[in-house]
Structure 1
Amino acid sequence: MIVLAVDSSSKVATVALMKDDKLLGEITLNDKKEHSVILMTIIEDLLKFNNLTIDDIDGYVVSKGPGSFTGLRIGMATVKGLSFGSGKPYVSLSSLDALAFSVANFDGLICPIMDALRNSVYTSLYKSCNGSLEKLMDYSALDMDELVEIIKSKGEKVIFIGDGLDKYKDYLIENCPNCYFPPNHLNLVRASSLGEIGSKLLRDGQFDDPNSTPFYLKKPQAEREYEQRMQLRNECNC
């Protein structure tokens, strides 16, 4: 089975090709170019480098969130379009699952953190169990202080991973005892991690419904600002 995996949940655009359990290739761009401009180009280039066409793909994997509202919509729309056009199935996974999978052999708590702005992160908690990851906490958007208190209550060593470390690594070193960090290159969501997890689901016949959508742990900023303006207007009219 040949699987194409795509993630555009953050400023990173990443695409991977998997054949069974083998990684054929991966392209990751960590810059601020718009995903709508570069994503299909990356897919086309990766296929060409492997002497494949879109007709050779047996299934697709895509990140469903949390993350950038625009990025998630672009990634999901791209994969759903390819899936519909080719008649091949797809499965969507959490970007947090993919981050945790990159350090799945850590013998303690695994805590992915993605920057959610305003001193908060998208996060969850995992632990390695018999060769697979067990999720210990629902996907959440938490203030850093709140997350640290949760970690401290567990009384275990923990490894943090994700782009949230760009902002909060020093804070975690100061406030969270017994914490560890991976090499910097692992802090990016990797399409290869999504692909490895998703390939197993596709082989087991676990497909997404064609109408599945990204999931957001926060409302878009524009929507939040609109609600705040409406609240102020209602208060002024009282």
Structure 2
Amino acid sequence: MWLAIETSSLVSSVAVMNDERLLGEITIQAGLTHSEQLVPHIDTLLRMTQVQKSELQGVVVSSGPGSFTGLRIGMGTAKAMAYALHIPLYGVMTMDVLACNIPYTSYIICTVIDAQKQHVYAALYTYEGERLRQLEAPFVVSADLLIERLQAKGDAVIFVGDGIKRIAPLVENVEHLHIADPMYRIPRASSLLVASRERIALGETENPMDMVPYYIRRSEAEVLWEAKHKDDVVIHEEPTVTIIEAAGREYDEH
């Protein structure tokens, strides 16, 4: 049995599956905080699927990018469960989770996560047969530059993720750029389980003691704090995470 925890956005989603089928999923957009609803949802899901915690073989969690607070809560819960139950912990990038919402399409899948200030975190995917392949790793880009770039390429593209609110007005009259239906736009724990299969098969586990969210860039609060205390802290010249600018980048065509 595998438990998946997805809290990278305002959506709270948990799912449990065995080696053959999805046993249950709870996905909620109710406006409550993850700290209020995540643990109760896990307890409810395990009770309704009649799965004991002792039966869990591993915990899978969305590792980001996404909501700074949501990622911390989801990852903290997953780490605590993995440590307490002595089971493996697996982290999967939110972009991979979103891309798995769209099965076997001939379109390019563009995952977009709201990065605030008219920017999005974006990544590009395509299917090679039944296998989903990442065309381009996540990058931060303004919404208008992303649409300009994809419009120029001319390939059929479908968008998923909460960054759609940034790009929707820009694609209204562009025939080959499509927005997924609402039920496919949000990250779901069931898609997280699909995206985790290769990691589980390869045994690519995380250490609960040192696993951290993948933010791509720092939160606004951290930037403001550093600016306010710039005379009190040592600023490292090399960033801990590289931000890939989209300008001038092209994805390979196969």
TM over 0.5, shorter chain: yes
* Separation of aligned partners in 2, 1:170 and 1:74: 32
CA distance in 2, matches of 1:128, 1:200: 15
Q: State the alpha-carbon separation in 2 of the partners of residues 31 and 228 from structure 1.
A: 35
How many angstroms apart in 2 are the aligned matches of 1:143 and 1:155? 19
Residue deviations 1:40-66, cap 9 Å, x none?
Answer: 100000000011121111111100000
Shift of 1:177: 4.4
Contact 1:63 1:95 in 2 (8 A): yes
The alignment status of 1:208 with 2:187, answered yes or no, reads: no
- Structure 2 unaligned regions, length at least 5: 231-254
Contact 1:100 1:112 in 2 (8 A): yes
**TM-score when normalising by structure 1:** 0.90
What does the per-residue CA deviation read over 1:144-178, in whole Å, with 9 as the maximum and x for residues that have no partner?
A: 1221233134331100111222343122224x441
Q: Which residue of 1 aligns with 2:104?
A: 105
Superposed displacement of residue 179, structure 1: 1.1
> Partner of 1:128 in structure 2?
127
SS in 2 for 1:77: helix
Q: Which amino acid letter does the alignment assign opposite residue 201 of structure 1? A: R
Distance in 2 between the 1:15 and 1:41 partners? 11
User: What is the rounded CA distance, in whole Å, between the counterparts of 2:32 and 2:11 in structure 1?
Assistant: 9
> 1:169 is matched with which residue?
168
Change (3 A) 1:166 1:144: closer
**Contact 2:144/2:167 (<8 A) preserved:** no
Structure whose residues are more often strand by fraction: 1
Tell me, in whole angstroms, the C-alpha distance in 2 between the residues paired with 1:21 and 1:31. 30
- Equivalent position SS for 1:51: coil
Q: Equivalent residue for 1:179?
A: 177
Corresponding residue of 1:235: none
Q: 2:140: which partner in 1?
A: 141
AA aligned to 2:68 is F
d(CA) in 2 for partners of 1:134, 1:59: 24
2:167 aligns to what SS in structure 1? helix
Once the two structures are aligned, what percentage of the paired residues are identical?
33
Q: Give ranges in structure 1 of 5+ residues lacking alignment.
A: 232-238
In the comparison of the two structures, how many residue pairs are matched? 230
Distance of 1:227 and 1:18 partners within structure 2: 43
Letter of the 1:148 counterpart: I
Change (3 A) 1:167 1:154: closer
The residue type equivalent to 1:188 in the other structure is: I
Say whether the 8 Å CA contact 1:13–1:30 is kept in structure 2.
yes
2:21 & 2:144 partners in 1: Cα distance?
A: 40
Q: Which amino acid aligns with 2:44?
A: D
Distance apart, 1:104 and its partner CA = 3.1
Q: Which one-letter code corresponds to 1:172 in the other structure?
A: V
Matched, 1:20 2:19: yes
TM superposition shift of 1:32:
2.4
Deviation, 1:77, is 0.8
Q: Distance in 2 between matches of 1:227 and 1:90?
A: 32
Kindly provide the amino acid, as one letter, of the partner of residue 216 in structure 1: Y
SS of the residue 2:196 aligns to: helix
Q: Tell me the residue number matched to 2:189.
A: 191
Aligned letter for 2:119?
Answer: S
State the distance in 2 between where 1:167 and 1:142 align. 11
Shift of 1:137: 1.2
Please give the alpha-carbon distance, in whole angstroms, between the structure 2 residues aligned to 1:75 and 1:10.
Answer: 10
- 1:60 alignment partner AA: V
Cα deviation, residue 23, structure 1? 0.8
Matches within 5 A, 1:35-54: 35-54=34-53
- Give yes or no for contact 2:3–2:14 (8 Å, CA) kept in 1: yes
CA-CA distance at 1:228 after TM superposition? 4.4
CA distance in 2, matches of 1:91, 1:189: 17
